[in-house]
Structure 1
Amino acid sequence: MSATELELIHTLAGDFGLELNDRVSREQIIAALTWRVDQLIAGNPDQLFSMLYRLDISERKIKAAMATETEVTKKIAVLIYERQLEKIISRKHFRSEAPEDDLAW
């Protein structure tokens, strides 16, 4: 398992209160996220939408997922998974090893 995948697992586990081990598959992560999204929709939809906003998931994508008649929570879980993965990859790609001398404090 790559460092990116491990970071993704730990990030999602922390953000969504999931118990995920380091050897979990993509499908298992999405199943756990689906369960958590379902809980949030039933118990605290405002918290879910706040989390989706903080994750910067496109409103258009969320509306498209919610407009379907089947697997709405799974589609939202996939959006969460994909967005978190994008963010981790982006951070790793744009992270510099050391600050430039004129930018170092």
Structure 2
Amino acid sequence: MTLEENLIQEEILKAVSYDVLLPQSTYELFRKQLADYINALINNNFQQLIYLLYRLDINEKKLKGLLAGQPGSDAGFLIADMMIERQLQKIQSRQQYRQPYRPIPDDERW
């Protein structure tokens, strides 16, 4: 598993209950588990799914467009892929704008 895949899993696991998804699983297994979890939420606890989408910062318009554009597809996998893609965007953004550590000189400390 790559570092990015590991970071993606960590970010999603923060938002999802740990007993549902196995941490440190392969990308494909994690994706399948996430899709199964999402499908269960669609059928049993839609409010929890809405909360999860909000917490992971998933764009509602993009999601609706994606689901409408692929009516015969498994919604769980479509949403899971969108969640994974969003987490990857966040990781890349953090890396891009990360400031290098510079110690504060003693004369500038409070």
TM, length-normalised to structure 1: 0.78
Ranges in structure 2 where 5+ consecutive residues have no aligned partner:
none
- What's the RMSD between the two structures over aligned residues? 2.4
Which 4+ stretches in 1 moved above 3 angstroms? none
Ranges in structure 1 where 5+ consecutive residues have no aligned partner:
none
Structure 1 position 97, deviation (Å): 2.1
CA contact (8 A) 1:65 1:72 kept: no
**Given residue 34 of structure 2, which amino acid in structure 1 is its aligned partner?**
L
Structure 1 residues 100 and 6: alpha-carbon distance in aligned structure 2, compared to 1, 3 A threshold: same
Q: Size of the alignment, in residue pairs?
A: 102
Q: Equivalents in 1 of 2:66, 2:85: separation in Å?
A: 14
Q: What's the counterpart of residue 4 of structure 1?
A: 4
% identical aligned pairs:
32
Structure 1 position 88, deviation (Å): 1.2
Question: Secondary structure, in 3 states, of the residue corresponding to 1:53?
Answer: helix
Q: What's the counterpart of residue 13 of structure 1?
A: 13
TM, length-normalised to structure 2: 0.75
